[in-house]
Amino acid sequence: MTRRLALAALLLLAGAACRGRPPEADPAAELGRLVDSLVPHVERSTGLRFRTRPRHALRSRDEVRAFVARKLREEMPAERFRRMQRAYALLGLLPDSLDLKAVLEQLLAQQVAGFYDPDSATLYAVTGADRTTQRLTIAHELVHALQDQYLPLDSILRDKSDNDRSSAAQAILEGQANFASIRMLQGDSVAGSAAFWDAFQETGQSLLSAQGFDSVPALLREGLLFPYVAGAQFFRWWGASPFRDTLPYGPRMPASTEQILHPERYAAGDRPLPLRFTDTVPDALEDDLGEFEVRMLERQLTGRRPDPAAVPLGWGADRFRLEETPAGAALVWVLVFDEPRFRDRFLAAVGSRLGAARPGQRVALDTLAVGGRAALRLVKAPSAWPRWDRLPGVTLGPAPLK
């Protein structure tokens, strides 16, 4: 029964958008009536009230695809796209030959049956969508419209300074919308069931494979599902936690995917460590992975899917730097753990694969201590890289003022 409920929910929320429906005399008026009818349900499901009536409009599927492409260009300029893909390829998370931008556009455009645009504060529905699908999609997007009246949604979505923190924020936004939609669709008992969300994730993976995305790298497939599933699981936990009379907004917004995946770490106040390189390299790309993507790296290197109920990775922080050189790209990645046993377990699982070198490349994988914490440092760079004799150091503390 749980699996059938999950399949029904996912088909309604994602897969059924391609089905058509009979034309209406006035689709815009029908959309307005639908929005008005759903507003009270969304308010009850979230515990928030709309301060102003949400704006809404219709768009064609071609216009939606154009919107997705434009948003990708705005949020990830071509040069950053290229360098991020290069860094992830050196780590082993993505293949070198992947057209990342094209795959993301395909993944996102096929899944969109409606969207909320913070720039215009308008909810857009796709013309010709199946009635049931449109109802659930609009309910989901109405939660985003409601969030925008309580949060600096535009600023949150545009912040690209910390990949892991952004992923955690995205999980809160999509997780709340998904959890609230399921509460409206199936009721509190189903939305509060861990078995339902486990089945929801498995069904989502099956649907993506059925839609031809089985050859897409696991990082992208799982990354598409992560905010909806892990975020909803976080809200399921939140409703039974000591924080249930509030919302994870503002200062209570989770700061890492570790906190999303393991809410007990959130409750314990386990925040990411302030990790930084001790030197600077002009024009280098710096960012982090976070627990979710480190777990995906472990899966990619070992071929094993991590157990969702596994103990925390022991992630404390990580930081990578990609430096472009005449001889090729040089990557330095530092991963800090809460305890030495977590580092040792990670190295035992992936160390030999993580340290594999390509032709013309030199690799160094070593252990070190950072601020008294167990850490590892991976360096993958051309053999002629001039920094081999002075590898970057790392420390705990805020970044220096510029």
pLDDT tens sequence across 23-54: 556 888 999 999 999 999 999 999 999 999 99
Yes or no: say if 288 and 164 are a contact pair by the CB < 8 Å rule. yes
Indicate if the pLDDT at residue 350 is higher than 60. Answer: yes
The neighbouring-strand residues paired with 368 are: 375
Least confident of 81-85, 132-136, 200-204, 307-311: 307-311
The better pLDDT of the pair 171, 18 is held by 171
Yes or no: say if 167 and 292 are a contact pair by the CB < 8 Å rule. yes
Spell out the alpha helix ranges (H) of 150-309.
Answer: 153-158, 163-186, 188-191, 194-208, 218-238, 257-261, 263-267, 290-302
Indicate if the pLDDT at residue 271 is higher than 90. Answer: yes
Least confident of 230-244, 322-336, 343-357: 343-357
**C-alpha neighbours within 13 Å on the C-beta side of residue 348:** 6
Indicate if the pLDDT at residue 98 is higher than 80. Answer: no
The better pLDDT of the pair 400, 7 is held by 400
pLDDT averaged over every residue in the chain: 86
Cβ-based neighbours of 280, under 8 Å, separated by 6 or more: none
Least confident of 103-107, 183-187, 288-292, 382-386: 103-107
The better pLDDT of the pair 195, 401 is held by 195
Yes or no: say if 312 and 266 are a contact pair by the CB < 8 Å rule. no
Q: Residue 45 burial (CB < 10 Å; 0-12/13-18/19+)?
A: buried
Which element (helix H / strand E) includes 138? helix 131-148
Cβ-based neighbours of 266, under 8 Å, separated by 6 or more: 254, 259, 260
pTM given for the model: 0.90
Residue 246, token pair as written in the block: 């509030």
Banded model confidence at residue 157, pLDDT cuts 50, 70, 90: confident
pLDDT in tens, 287-341: 999 999 999 999 989 888 765 556 789 999 999 999 999 999 999 999 999 999 9
Q: 96 to each of 56, 89, 90, 215, 396, how far by Cα in Å?
A: 41, 6, 8, 14, 32
Give the Cβ contact number of residue 270 at 10 Å.
Answer: 18
Least confident of 96-100, 149-153, 320-324, 373-377: 96-100
State the distance between the two ends of the chain, measured CA to CA, in whole angstroms. 57
- Across 121-143, b (16+ Cβ under 10 Å) vs e yields eebbbbbbbbeebbbbbbbbbbb
Q: Is 277 helix (H, G, I), strand (E, B) or coil?
A: strand
Indicate if the pLDDT at residue 12 is higher than 50. Answer: no
